[in-house]
Structure 1
Amino acid sequence: MSPEEKRKQDLKALGLKNLGQVYWNLSTPGLYEEAIKRREGVMAHLGPMVVRTGQHTGRSPHDKFMVREPSSQDRLWWGDVNKGLSEEKFNILLHRLMAYVQGKDLFVQDCYAGQDPEFRVPIRVITETAWHNLFARNLFVQVKDQDEMESHYPEFTIINAPRFQAVPELDGTYSEAFIIVNLGRKLILIGGTAYAGEIKKSVFTLMNYLLPQKEVLSMHCSVNVGQDGDAAVFFGLSGTGKTTLSADPERALIGDDEHGWSDRGLFNFEGGCYAKVIRLSKTAEPEIYECTRKFGTILENVGINLRTRRVDLDDDSLTENTRAAYPIAHIPSAMREGVCGHPKNVVMLTCDAFGVMPPLARLTAAQAEYHFLSGYTAKVAGTEAGVNEPKATFSTCFGAPFMALEPHVYADLLRKKVLKHQVKCWLLNTGWAGEPASKAGRISIKYSRALVKAALTGALDNVKYRKDPLFNFEVPVSCPGVPGEILNPRNQAKDPAEYDQRAQKLVEDFKKNFEQFAAKVPDDVKNVL
């Protein structure tokens, strides 16, 4: 059977029949041509493609489901994050989707999730639109060798049909949008939303299920490596600086968002980056800024002047969550192989809007596990509907929406690897220090970069530290390139007594949140605070 005949058989086996034209593994220029011909997007000045995602300009976490099926249901972390859907409802929706695509053109990309050949997962992404296929081509690991492409057989398949809508009363969903992962059928269905991040994060959920069962820690983090091979891991939620701080011209970028940590070292799950670009600074973030001006980059919901075709990165009229999806090769300092050795440093990022957390703290292994499970940051007024003042947010493992297994599984692996490889752990606050967000300016990115550089180069190994009286971690009293006074937030507060009240409230929030993990962690982790 020829490769072409085999591909047709593969589609029929999924139930994809009576299709229009099927475009297999088109190149980036080929997908550009199809997307523009079909009016899915427009080309901007210097070559990026600008697209609109319509109603959904971000993820729809409440519309994500895991199918309850025998092979996985006893392992999954059921609850608000992983909501169950019956096999019966899945099959009903699948059959309706198969009927919907009949007669339609489809685009297919065969690629991998995971740069390490030992742990990578072959996937197939089938999309209704050309630009979503380009997104998959940018974000996942491309198959460059033609012989390898012909022998590629997907272990998991993703079908993305944004114009197909669920019927909640019939399909058991909450809305017309759905992201459904069926681990038994090795099939992921996405519809009712054009936000491309759903493709990326559904595959991340898949990797978070598969890899820990092989003693590989899957992580929502960025990774870079120095000239001496000293790798660093940056955990962080959206808006904390994970992408910005890892894109360092003096260090090679491994990846900006999703990685695995095996006994062989670190490896990127992806072949590209998906960066938030609202009000991106050409000065502070020059490498990412340049990616917004390159052919091959997809700009989601970014403002554009249709006459001059120039984009406006400050335009938030559609959403604050404007995005750029580009191949990692667009970053000059990127290491395209996407693999490196074990980290020497782990940095956990938080954006503390209460002004309580110090700009940098050194963590023990137990404290690192505690803060990893907590996954703290804060939402700031104006960034989300209904948020009028800073609000503490806890997202376990710095990525709760994508964790398929119970949190302690990931936390246990992290601690084991930190101890085995003698990794230094840090907590970096990129938010506010001393005063809350409503009363002061955010910590300068210049200082955050200086703190990271000092931590990674060992410049903080021999400085004096003080013990924080509330969080019990160690805080440096000096750092090259950073004014000493900002390292102690309480000294920056105009009203120390009022600061103490804010600090105590945050500690209580931490303790209350951690109650859900207390039964499954060691005593030294349980008693960190």
Structure 2
Amino acid sequence: MVDRLDGQPNVEHPRPQEIRRLAEQYGTRTKFGNYNFVSTVKNRSAGLTFYYGSPAVLQTRTSARQKELLKNLPRTLAEVESYLNKAPFICVERTMGLNSEFSPRCSLYVSVHREEMVRLAHMVSQTLFDPRPTNGRHPHFRLVYIPEWQEKDRQIVALPEAGITFVLGSDYYGEAKKGFLRMGMWHAKQRGMLGLHAGAKVIKVRDKKGKLRRLGMLLFGLTATGKTTHTCHHHGLQDNGQGIEILQDDVVFLQRDGGILGTEKGFYIKTDSLDPQIQPILYQAATRPDALFENVMVDYKGDVDFADETLTGNGRCIIQRDDLGIHKSEGVDLPPAEELDGLIVAFITRRNTVVPIVSRISPEQAAAAFMLGESIESSGSDPRRAGESVREVGTNPFIVGDEAEEGNIFYEIIKAHEGQIQCYLLNTGGVGEIREETPEGKIVKQKVRRIQIPEMAAIIRAIALDAIEWRKDPAFGYEVPKSAPGVDLAEFELKKFYSQEQIDEMVSKLRRERQDYMTLFPRLDPAIVKTV
């Protein structure tokens, strides 16, 4: 049914400039000269998303509602096919990536039965690259967006093998962005690569002999853990030829040689409490005329308040790579690991009790960290569970297929380049929290000592400069800092917050939880399981 859309009289193909003009009619102009759009649905419908196809792509853990939606799929698709002949649609053609190896064609078909939905076409245009000829060498992904679908039947249907996604009953832009990237990750895996939910950058530092070194860096992390913040932070490296080059902030494709392929020209960042002093690069890009706000508080005068969460805790902004100034990289890809002076792989977790704020880990421990994907739930996926502990393989809610296979591929790649790749675990939460269960729910009896953005930025700088003195941590078997310039490690000493008995109990509980979780993946390499 999707194949014939291009030739139908109800499908228009306006140019991006025309789409922008139409979309801005339905936005609020801000004092920065850009526009804010407000959606009805304000986060991804993760619990209403399901996959259809061969056994290789089906989810192994689904809710009762997902099972019901899957059962009713034939009827739903018949209704969609009929509707595709009736409603007015706009088509936007884009390209994912800027390389000759894997740059899928991306076609968005969005219903403009509600005329203001043209904004979704505009947002896709601002995120993916201009269309380029594929000559049949690259996959073709198609996404059909029908925001006005009945709320009771809201669902996101992904057909990975066909490269097709249906978004029914949601007008949240994140479904379009992740719909295309989900397809990209699945098809990249079929070509021997691994799709990663990670930011990418280059860090330029001078070593102790004054030689300038170029280090690649990948930062894994779930939404709202600091992935984009630290991908787009200069870490105080602003003199003597030192600095950063920002490549990507969300999804990249890891190749067997340790190189990566980028995907997007626009970054979809969270705006809560965006601060010009703490996050200057992001703030500058977000306040440019080409930026697009989604669900940010803008008053009748056009003033923007990033800290106001009246509408949602999931305010967003699409910023352009071109607005990153001197910190923008020339391209969006990283060369093979052997062509750099090193590749730093960092897993961002957000825990509030006994997990060290930074740990240096072995390839086996890194693969375990990949599988554990420990963090907290965010308002971007489920605002009702925001703040709860969560585990997500690869910190990637968009994996299609066997999760153990992804962990094994990741382990094979980093193990093959062990001399060039060094892995770390970064905790952007903190230590010291005590929560207790009560009949009314969980209450915080002792607040967390949070690690602030400047402190974590200093840690990343120290990692790049090889300036941290390490010691063995008996609790988890990691290496943890004995000293780190720019950070007062005494602030995070566990004995300041807990008794030894409490520490032992929390560590043991976390280790048991990790061991139990790993039993879900019987096909995982035993070397990874053993390290947990």
Q: Could you state the TM-score of these two structures normalised by the residue count of structure 2?
A: 0.84
Runs of at least 5 residues in structure 1 that lack an aligned partner in the other structure? 1-9, 167-174
Deviations 1:399-445 (A, max 9, x none): 1x201021112111111111222210000111112445742331121
- Pairs within 5 Å for 1:144-159: 148=133, 155-159=140-144
Number of aligned pairs? 490
2:379 pairs with 1:397: no
Question: Relative to structure 2, which stretch is displaced further, 297-306 or 179-188?
Answer: 179-188
Distance in 1, matches of 2:307 and 2:188, equals 39
Distance in 2, matches of 1:229 and 1:25, equals 40
- Which residue of 1 is the match for residue 37 of structure 2? 51
The structural deviation recorded for 1:186 is 3.2
Partner letter of residue 114 of structure 1?
G
Distance in 2, matches of 1:185 and 1:151, equals 15
Deviations 1:134-171 (A, max 9, x none): 1111221223x7xx4999997121111211237xxxxx
Deviations 1:260-281 (A, max 9, x none): 1114511212221111111112
Q: 1:320 to 1:86 in 2, by over 3 A?
A: closer
Q: 1:33 to 1:521 in 2, by over 3 A?
A: same
Q: 1:34 to 1:336 in 2, by over 3 A?
A: farther
Q: 1:86 to 1:252 in 2, by over 3 A?
A: same
Q: 1:309 to 1:291 in 2, by over 3 A?
A: same
- Which residue of 1 is the match for residue 478 of structure 2? 473
The structural deviation recorded for 1:320 is 0.6
Q: Secondary structure at the match of 2:42?
A: coil
Q: Is the 8 A contact 1:342 1:421 kept in 2?
A: no
2:37 pairs with 1:60: no
The structural deviation recorded for 1:224 is 0.4
- Which residue of 2 is the match for residue 141 of structure 1? 129
Work out which of the residue numbers 16, 30, 33 in structure 2 matches 1:26. Answer: 16
2:414 pairs with 1:418: yes
Q: Secondary structure at the match of 1:142?
A: coil
Q: Secondary structure at the match of 1:57?
A: coil
Q: Is the 8 A contact 1:434 1:499 kept in 2?
A: no
Work out which of the residue numbers 57, 60, 73 in structure 1 matches 2:55. Answer: 73
Deviations 1:314-352 (A, max 9, x none): 110111111112222222212252111245110000111
Distance in 1, matches of 2:38 and 2:432, equals 40
Q: Is the 8 A contact 1:76 1:406 kept in 2?
A: no
The structural deviation recorded for 1:291 is 2.5
Distance in 2, matches of 1:92 and 1:251, equals 51
Partner letter of residue 52 of structure 1?
V
Work out which of the residue numbers 324, 330, 336 in structure 2 matches 1:331. Answer: 324
Distance in 2, matches of 1:521 and 1:223, equals 26
Work out which of the residue numbers 167, 191, 197 in structure 2 matches 1:214. Answer: 191
Deviations 1:276-331 (A, max 9, x none): 1111122111111122222232211110112x111111110111111112222222
The structural deviation recorded for 1:255 is 0.4
2:424 pairs with 1:441: no
Identity %: 20
Q: Is the 8 A contact 2:349 2:425 kept in 1?
A: yes
Q: 1:342 to 1:142 in 2, by over 3 A?
A: same
Q: Is the 8 A contact 2:194 2:410 kept in 1?
A: yes
Q: Is the 8 A contact 2:432 2:449 kept in 1?
A: no
- Which residue of 2 is the match for residue 113 of structure 1? 96
Partner letter of residue 268 of structure 1?
G
- Pairs within 5 Å for 1:450-469: 450-460=458-468, 463=469, 465-469=470-474
Distance in 2, matches of 1:43 and 1:243, equals 25
- Pairs within 5 Å for 1:2-401: 13-14=4-5, 17-19=8-10, 22-27=12-17, 30-37=18-25, 39=26, 41-54=27-40, 56-68=41-53, 72-80=54-62, 89-90=72-73, 92-102=75-85, 104-128=87-111, 129-143=117-131, 148=133, 155-165=140-150, 175-227=152-204, 228-249=213-234, 250-263=243-256, 265-306=259-300, 308-332=301-325, 333-342=327-336, 344-353=343-352, 355-379=353-377, 391-399=388-396, 401=397
The structural deviation recorded for 1:523 is 2.7
Q: 1:296 to 1:89 in 2, by over 3 A?
A: farther
Deviations 1:226-252 (A, max 9, x none): 234311000011221100001023211
Q: Secondary structure at the match of 1:141?
A: coil
Work out which of the residue numbers 495, 503, 520 in structure 2 matches 1:516. Answer: 520
Q: Is the 8 A contact 2:108 2:144 kept in 1?
A: yes
The structural deviation recorded for 1:47 is 2.1
The structural deviation recorded for 1:502 is 2.5
Distance in 1, matches of 2:99 and 2:465, equals 27
Work out which of the residue numbers 482, 495, 498 in structure 2 matches 1:491. Answer: 495
Q: Secondary structure at the match of 1:372?
A: helix
The structural deviation recorded for 1:104 is 4.5
Deviations 1:87-108 (A, max 9, x none): 9954543443344355644322
* Cα RMSD after superposing both structures: 2.9
Q: 1:212 to 1:387 in 2, by over 3 A?
A: closer
Question: Relative to structure 2, which stretch is displaced further, 308-317 or 322-331?
Answer: 322-331
Distance in 1, matches of 2:384 and 2:515, equals 25
Distance in 2, matches of 1:268 and 1:52, equals 29
Q: Is the 8 A contact 1:470 1:507 kept in 2?
A: no
Partner letter of residue 371 of structure 1?
A
Deviations 1:473-502 (A, max 9, x none): 111211111113246x32332534333333
Q: Is the 8 A contact 1:65 1:85 kept in 2?
A: no
- Which residue of 1 is the match for residue 237 of structure 2? none
Question: Relative to structure 2, which stretch is displaced further, 327-336 or 155-164?
Answer: 327-336
Distance in 2, matches of 1:428 and 1:350, equals 6
Q: 1:466 to 1:453 in 2, by over 3 A?
A: same
